[in-house]
Amino acid sequence: METLKVLLVNGSPHKDGCVSTALSEIADTLKSEGIDSTTFWVGNQPVAGCIGCGACVGKRSCFRNDKVNEFVKMMDNYDGFVFGTPVHYAAASGAMTSFLDRVFFIDEFNGDHFAGKPAAAIATCRRSGATSALAELNSFFAMKSMPVVNSSYWNLLVGSTPEQVSQDEEGLRTMRNLARNMAWLLKSIDAGRKQGIQSPPLE
């Protein structure tokens, strides 16, 4: 039986920072539920925004050969996604939003490969601003027919360092519940597909 897989996207410029700590908690819980996961780091180099040039249409790749194209090449191998961001001025990181603008634009005009695949957003913050950052990321999923996975509280962790984040017991519990919800939904979709129930077509 083919194992279900989730791609965890780290949108922080710090590879092993707070967002990584949150995603690791999710990865461990997914593993306990029999779900494989891989972490994709957006990186700490500048990520250009989408300029709407249309060069990707029909090609499924951006003329800027960077992390965006790397992600697009691998995304079809995954059944679900978790996108994590630090909070910068009550919003998702600039790199994350530029990355997602281009990834989702490419998908919009090249086959809607995200449709029907569950997605979740998580955020880490020093004190506040996480809910607006989460709303920003969730907007991408809402426009691509992606079931949005939530938890027992807003999908956030509080702390300025990985050590502080690791002490946020409620936040860590929220990440674990999120992972279990993701696993449950993936298994439910997979079971339905095996019974002949397919994702609804898009008009």
Q: For residue 106, is pLDDT > 80?
A: yes
Spatial CA neighbour of 112 closest among 69, 163, 60, 65: 60
Q: Which CATH number fits domain 5-194: 3.90.550.10, 3.40.50.2030, 3.40.50.360, 3.40.50.720?
A: 3.40.50.360
| CA–CA gap between residue 179 and residue 165 (Å, rounded) | 17
| Percent of residues, the chain, with pLDDT higher than 90 | 95
Question: Rounded to 10 degrees, what is the CA torsion of 126, 121, 24, 160?
Answer: -10
- Is 15 strand, coil or helix? coil
Q: For residue 63, is pLDDT > 80?
A: yes
Q: For residue 158, is pLDDT > 80?
A: yes
- DSSP secondary-structure letter at 139? H
What's the predicted TM-score (pTM) here?
0.96
In degrees, rounded to 5, the angle at the alpha carbon of residue 121 between the alpha carbons of residues 118 and 126 is 165
| pLDDT bucket at 202, cuts 50 / 70 / 90 | confident
Q: What is the pLDDT of residues 72-101, one digit of tens each?
A: 999 999 999 999 999 999 999 999 999 999
